[in-house]
Amino acid sequence: MRLDKFLKVSRLIKRRTVAKDVSEQGRVWINGREAKPSSTVKVGDELAVQFGQKRVTVRIERIAETSRKDEAAEMYTLLKEESNTTP
């Protein structure tokens, strides 16, 4: 599945256009490598997303073309949530 679609379906990012923009800005990594919106994701991949001062790292557990809101969180496991604030 394409990265931008996974981000939207899993509800890590609410809209696919925003997921595409974030990826194009170099703020998404798959297994430690910078990823483009068209990059392919698969079960077991580690995905890191930079949201402003916060970086969220998840492991992909399931791929689905669509998901309901209550099922979306089952598509990944949260591994880390780091804040990049400096004093």
* Phi then psi dihedrals of residue 22, to 5 deg: -60, -40
Contact (CB, 8 A) for 9 and 20? no
pTM over 0.75: yes
Structural domains in the chain (count): 1
Please give, one letter per residue, the 3-state secondary structure of 48-66: EEEECCEEEEEEECCCCCC
Running DSSP on this structure, what letter comes out for residue 2? B
How much is the pLDDT for 64? Answer: 92
Which residue range is the domain that position 20 belongs to?
A: 3-83
Instruction: Please give the angle made by the CA atoms of 75, 57 and 45, to the nearest 5 degrees.
Output: 55
How much is the pLDDT for 53? Answer: 92
How much is the pLDDT for 84? Answer: 73
How much is the pLDDT for 35? Answer: 96
User: Mean pLDDT, 10 residues at a time, over the chain (87 residues)?
Assistant: 96 95 96 96 96 94 92 94 71
How much is the pLDDT for 43? Answer: 97
User: The domain spanning residue 28 has which CATH number?
Assistant: 3.10.290.10
